Amino acid sequence: MDKNEKISRKIKSMKKYVDFLRSYKSVTEERLEDDYELRSAIERNFHLAIESALDIGEIIISAEGFEKPEDYRSVILILESRRTS
């Protein structure tokens, strides 16, 4: 599987997670406090969306031969430094 296909799959997954989150954008803080399962589902989808974004960043970094990130924060910093250079 090439990098474009990997990125495309990650974006498709991320869209699914973000669509789920959007469907609950009007949920009140009180409901989240009272509904453990809903809160857990929302937290999980946030986690998966962020993980997808970081995975995409790592794919780009690898494909472009940029320095290897040491942690998730480094993924963002490396991409940011390459964007401005």
Q: Tell me: the pLDDT tens digits for 20-50?
A: 999 999 999 999 999 999 999 999 999 999 9
Quick one: pLDDT band at residue 83, thresholds 50, 70, 90? confident
For residue 70, give the 3-state DSSP assignment.
Answer: coil
Q: Tell me: the pLDDT tens digits for 4-18?
A: 999 999 999 999 999
Q: Which residue, among 2, 3, 25, 22, has the nearest Cα to 14 in the 3D structure? A: 22
Query: How big is the CA angle at 79 (ends 75 and 82), to the nearest 5 degrees?
Result: 145
Average of per-residue pLDDT across 77-85 = 85
Instruction: State yes or no: pLDDT of 85 exceeds 70.
Output: no
Query: Distance of CA 81 to CAs 5, 66, 78, Å?
Result: 25, 10, 5
Instruction: Read off the tokens for 12.
Output: 């498709």
Q: Tell me: the pLDDT tens digits for 48-61?
A: 999 999 999 999 99
